[in-house]
Amino acid sequence: MNFVGAAGVDVKIVMIRCPYRGQSVSTGIEVEESTFAGLPDTLILSRCPLCGLEHVWWKTEAWLEPIRYDNDSQASTD
């Protein structure tokens, strides 16, 4: 299920690959697909949630994935 923003648009998360762990990680940037496509290919700096380091990446190295939420984090702690 994709996240649909308040204006009814499909919002996705920008993903990159951690160069040290080789795994896909979220940048924490949420964007519409059409907006992402129109962005210039600039150098961007993001802190990696896997290794804790800051990674420099180009837009052309990133991709979009649907936003997913962890249902366990919303569970009651009663």
What's the confidence (pLDDT) of residue 5? 54
Per-residue pLDDT of the chain (78 residues; tens, 9 = 90+): 444 555 567 899 999 999 999 999 999 999 999 999 999 999 999 999 999 999 999 999 999 999 987 654 444 444
| Residue of 72, 75, 64, 74 lying closest to 2 (CA atoms) | 64
What stretch of H or E contains 66? strand 63-66
And the tokens for 31? 């964007």
What's the confidence (pLDDT) of residue 7? 57
What's the confidence (pLDDT) of residue 4? 56
